[in-house]
């Protein structure tokens, strides 16, 4: 088991090497590394899915199945047009 990650639904390594995870409570957490202490991320709501695009933007699916884009941890989520009915999100790398 990875320390400090018990009860995580999803774990994503961000481009800067840090970790972003969705807890079983649907709250976002971050850690400096897999072995780092996880810290709750101030966010805009409950989450079921996350990914990061090549340009660094994070995509978030909330518990109401809506897709949002998120510039950084201090920014508000922005609803993506026609982004309803989502159950997950993934990014392809090129």
- Domain segments of the chain as ranges: 8-79
Residue 44 has pLDDT above 80, yes or no: no
Rounded to an integer, the average pLDDT of 25-37 is 90
Nearest Cα neighbor of 14 from 35, 39, 37, 31 is 31
The rounded percent of the chain whose pLDDT value lies above 70 is 93
- pLDDT above 90 (res 91): no
Cβ–Cβ under 8 Å, residues 46 and 62: yes
Q: Mean pLDDT over residues 72-85, rounded?
A: 89
For residue 57, what are the CA distances in angstroms to 4, 39, 81?
A: 25, 20, 16
Strands laid side by side in the 47-52 sheet = 47-52, 58-62, 67-70, 78-79
Q: Which of 27, 25, 30 is nearest to 12 (CA)?
A: 30
Could you name the CATH architecture of 8-79? Answer: Beta Barrel (2.40)
pLDDT at 93 over 80: no
Is-contact 53 59, C-beta < 8 A? yes
């Amino acid at each position: 088991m990875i320390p400090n990650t018990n009860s995580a639904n999803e774990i994503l390594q961000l481009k800067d090497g840090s970790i972003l995870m969705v807890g079983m409570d649907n709250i976002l957490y971050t850690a400096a590394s897999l072995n780092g202490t996880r810290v709750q991320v101030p966010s805009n709501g409950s989450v079921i899915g996350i990914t990061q695009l090549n340009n660094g933007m994070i995509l978030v699916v909330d518990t109401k199945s809506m897709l949002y884009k998120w510039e950084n941890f201090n920014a508000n989520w922005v609803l993506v047009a026609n982004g309803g009915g989502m159950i997950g999100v993934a990014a392809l790398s090129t």
